[in-house]
Amino acid sequence: MEHLLIKGKKALNGEVMISGAKNAVVAIIPAAIMANGVCIIDNLPSIEDVRCLQDTLIKLGAVCELIGEGTLMVDSSNLTNFNATFDSVRRIRASYYLMGALLGRFKEAKVALPGGCNFGTRPIDLHLKAFRALGAEIEEDYENGIISLKAERLIGTDIFLDTVSVGATINAMLAATLAEGVTTIENAAKEPHIVDTANFLNMMGAKIKGAGTDVIRITGVEKLHGAEYMIIPDQIEAGTYMIAAAVCGGNVCVKNIIPKHMDSLSAKLREMGCVIEEGDDYINVISTGKLRATRVKTMAYPGFPTDLQPQMVAGLAKAEGISLLTETVWENRFQYIDQLKKFGCEISVDGRVATIHGVNQLFGADVMATDLRAGAAMVIAGLASNGITKIGNVRFIDRGYEKIEYKLKALGADICRVKE
DSSP secondary-structure letter at 193? Answer: H
The residue annotated as part of the active site, out of 52, 117, 248, 345, is: 117
Cβ-based nearer residue to ligand EPZ, 34 or 300: 300
* Residue 39 known to be catalytic: no
Smallest distance from the beta carbon of 315 to ligand EPZ, in angstroms? 17
Is the previous residue joined to 30 through a cis bond, with omega within 30 degrees of 0? Answer: no
Q: How far apart (Å, rounded) are the C-alpha atoms in residues 163 and 188?
A: 9
Which among 161-169, 353-361, 378-386, 410-418 is the span making contact with ligand EPZ, rule CB under 6 A?
Answer: 161-169
Q: Which of residues 167-206 bind ligand EPZ (CB under 6 A)?
A: 167-168, 189
Smallest distance from the beta carbon of 11 to ligand EPZ, in angstroms? 27
Out of 90, 122, 297, 417, point to the residue binding ligand EPZ (CB under 6 A).
122
Q: How far apart (Å, rounded) are the C-alpha atoms in residues 168 and 179?
A: 16
| Residue-by-residue DSSP string for 176-227 | HHTSBSEEEEES----HHHHHHHHHHHHTT-EEE-BTBSEEEEE--S-B---
Provide the CB-side half-sphere exposure for 253 (13 A, CA): 9
Cβ-based nearer residue to ligand EPZ, 7 or 129: 129
DSSP secondary-structure letter at 20? Answer: B
Asked if residue 94 binds ligand EPZ (CB under 6 A), the reply is yes
Closest listed residue to residue 217, CA positions, set 187, 183, 189? 183
DSSP secondary-structure letter at 82? Answer: -
Asked if residue 127 binds ligand EPZ (CB under 6 A), the reply is yes
Q: How far apart (Å, rounded) are the C-alpha atoms in residues 266 and 342?
A: 28
Site string for ligand EPZ, 301-340 (x = CB under 6 A): -----xx---------------------xx----------
Residue nearest to ligand EPZ (CB): 167
Smallest distance from the beta carbon of 120 to ligand EPZ, in angstroms? 7
How many residues contact ligand EPZ, by CB under 6 A?
Answer: 25
Helix (H) or strand (E) holding 10: none
Asked if residue 369 binds ligand EPZ (CB under 6 A), the reply is no
Q: How far apart (Å, rounded) are the C-alpha atoms in residues 288 and 247?
A: 8
The catalytic residue positions are 117
Residues at the contact surface with ligand EPZ, assessed by CB under 6 A: 22-23, 26, 93-94, 117, 122-127, 163, 165-168, 189, 306-307, 329-330, 372-373, 400
